[in-house]
Structure 1
């Protein structure tokens, strides 16, 4: 739209300048032809006797005979005025000095069109006139007499024509520019409307509010929309088959393990190892079920998950009198699985409630490219050494304080799966630990 508007704003003014220049050139040519014709009419009645110019009392063109008519005929020789028409009576010749007239003297046999300014009958010195000068030579008994015929005409009429033409031209060009801009804007808006709708639907799919493109598009976009829908459906079906296969694998592995654990002849060490294998299988299967980047088009409501967790934890820790504050903008979405978000926030909030004295805060902040979850408490906090060791597998909460540490390895793995970042620091607002989860939005 900007490029189209720029084309209108550049092209039409260029056309206007070109047309205006052509019109002024045409006016100049018309003036030149008209005044040259007057020169020929004056030369037709010009005679030279005794080296002097002899002219009739009246000329054929009546404007030369009316004082101040705006059309004047002058004859100069050797830069001196030797004759002028009756219409020139009362006007002063323009001069560059006391002896030199400001009238041109072209080459013999040629004419020139110039512009001069001189005082009129009322003494005004701002009258512009056009002058066509033509030099000729008359044969006399002694030597040729060179004269220059000047036809002077007030250019007010010509300037008025040019001014009216300019006003009309630019008025209609401006109107045309506005009309074309409006027509182009409406046309482009109507033409690009399917693209805008296509973009909006892609955004809804990206936010998880739709699972496919539902609108009807023109032929140019319809093929793309169909292919995208096929891709989305295929991805969903593959993810479902993947989950079903994992569930089948979990079932097929856990059943033999349960049988092994029920054997009485197994030693305690063997039973413990079988239990560890069972836990490892459960953990790895849960980790593999995480959709992460495969579910780029899915999205879940953060408020729904966080609200449920807070209500549950409030009941669990009601005897501890821990207050959980929740701060988040409405309608924020997390691109991933609900179970993954539930596990990450659940572990961190549960640890915060165990470590807190009376206050826990969950804040969710959304920027243009980053989604952040901030969990803070007013507990004892963590030392620098504890922050480095807290995500090690097998690290137990009671090694440093009640809380923080249970399930944090799982949280760390899930965060890495979603290509996010988990940072542990000291809370400036509450004084305890501060866990910050950040994901690309």
Structure 2
């Protein structure tokens, strides 16, 4: 029992189980409604046919009826033999204008209380009523058809012709139809459920393929999700592969960073171990301060390198314009004493599909260099690529600029363009790391390619 309960729970919590249950319930409800509608339509058609049949019996009685004063006379033997046979199940009767039974067929002789039948009041001329009645002392109901007839030249005589027939054959016919209907609907339901299960199994096969690929990758069979997936699942599998790649790259990056940090600290630590504080205290103190400053720079650089993230294209798009304006506003406060005319060309619809911290790190370092080394003018142009997924960043200033040799130097770790100003010289190196993690490019723009963005100084273009 516990094992069966666990299996049922797994089935219920599976996508195929839920879809199968819901589809089966919808199918059963639909078949139940359909059977009710068909049974109702069939019973209505039978009632209409029975009403026409009973009306024909009334016309048969009218054909043989003869007026006899204020009443009617009908022959003892009628053309329809069932009227002449007791307990035949077919009864005919005539009522006068006051509702009294003035004639009844011989088939009604076995009903001693026929005059006490619960028949409604007489009908007017042309009025017709088809209904079901329950005769006294009988278990089965009867169908009845009544029609008002006016007799005479001036319609002075009013009669109501009544035909009663045993409804048992009608009910038997309805029950037979219901049994046949439910039998075939049941067979059809089973066939549809089987087809439905096959369709669900076929339709959910790509999801099982994704699960299989994930399991194979977890077991070391593959580094990424491999397989042919339908169009709807391609974004999912691509983003999963991207996450896996980013996680692997970040893990390797962290391991390399820790190794670089340990290696970089070896030399300062070795110097500190060799200090002779007894012989020359002042020189040892100066060397200590220098090595501590060096270690602090190394740690700061490695920390920045470690937090430089990898691209996460499955994140929602980050609006670039408000972020750039926020950075420019902050730099205006930092460089309050230096008047800088910064122009931002960025539409409100420009989006960056990646980590917001990466974008802030890139723009912050680039714009800070523009404020610091520029001559007072700065142009920032940001736009999406044609496919709306990439990003183009152009930063130009009117400073002294950099030669190609200087550019190759400043993007190296710890190298600065101006050694007189404070800093570790790793800002552009961090920018390069982030750009490379997004498989992008960063390069200086030659003057002949700058166009309206040529301010005479350094011009950098980043393509992500």
Shorter-chain-normalised TM-score: which range? 0.5 to 0.7
How far is the alpha carbon of 1:129 from its aligned partner?
0.8
Aligned partners of 1:57, 1:133: CA distance in 2, in Å? 21
Unaligned runs of 5+ in 1: 297-441
Asked if the contact 1:95/1:102 (under 8 Å) is kept, the reply is: no
**Is 2:190 the counterpart of 1:170?**
no
- Counterpart in the other structure of 2:106: 86
* Count of residues in correspondence between the two structures: 288
Q: Choose from 258, 265, 272 the match for 2:270.
A: 258
Q: After the TM superposition, which segments of 4 or more aligned residues of structure 1 sit over 3 Å from their partners? A: 92-96, 199-211, 263-291
Q: How far apart are residue 33 of structure 1 and its match?
A: 0.7
Deviations 1:230-268 (Å, cap 9, x if unpaired)? Answer: 442244235424533443344234224424543546647
What secondary structure, in the 3-state scheme, does the structure 1 residue paired with 2:233 have? helix
Shift of the alpha carbon at 1:189?
2.7
Call closer, same or farther: CA 1:182–1:277 in 2, change over 3 Å: farther
Matched, 1:9 2:28: yes
Deviations 1:21-76 (A, max 9, x none): 11111111011111011111111111102223121232222222222211121112
Q: Tell me if structure 2 keeps the 8 A contact 1:110–1:135.
A: yes
Q: After superposition, where does 1:119-158 map in structure 2 within 5 Å?
A: 119=136, 124-139=137-152, 144-158=156-170
What is residue 56 of structure 1 aligned with on the other side? 75
Query: Aligned residue for 1:22?
Result: 41
CA distance in 1, matches of 2:219, 2:47: 69
C-alpha distance in 2 between matches for 1:92 and 1:103: 19
Structure 2: state its 5+ residue gaps: 1-18, 313-464
| Equivalent residue in structure 2 for 1:220, among 232, 236, 245 | 232
- Picking from 85, 88, 92, the partner of 1:66 is 85
- Matches of 1:263 and 1:35, distance apart in 2: 126
Q: TM-score, normalised by structure 2?
A: 0.52
C-alpha distance in structure 1 between counterparts of 2:151 and 2:133, whole Å: 27
3-state SS of 1:72 partner = strand
Take 1:228 and 1:266, find their aligned partners in 2: how far apart are those partners?
61
| Match runs of 1:98-247 below 5 Å | 102-119=119-136, 124-139=137-152, 144-199=156-211, 211-247=223-259
Contact preservation (8 Å) 2:90, 2:166: yes
Q: Deviations over 1:305-345 (max 9, x none)?
A: xxxxxxxxxxxxxxxxxxxxxxxxxxxxxxxxxxxxxxxxx
Q: What TM-score comes out, normalization by structure 1 length?
A: 0.55
Aligned to 1:44, what secondary structure does the other structure show? helix
Retained in 2: the 8 A contact 1:48–1:140?
no
Corresponding residue of 1:43: 62
Residue 276 (structure 1) shift:
7.7
- Give the drift of 1:228: 2.6
Per the alignment, do residues 51 and 107 of structure 1 end up closer, same or farther by CA in structure 2, a change over 3 Å counting? closer
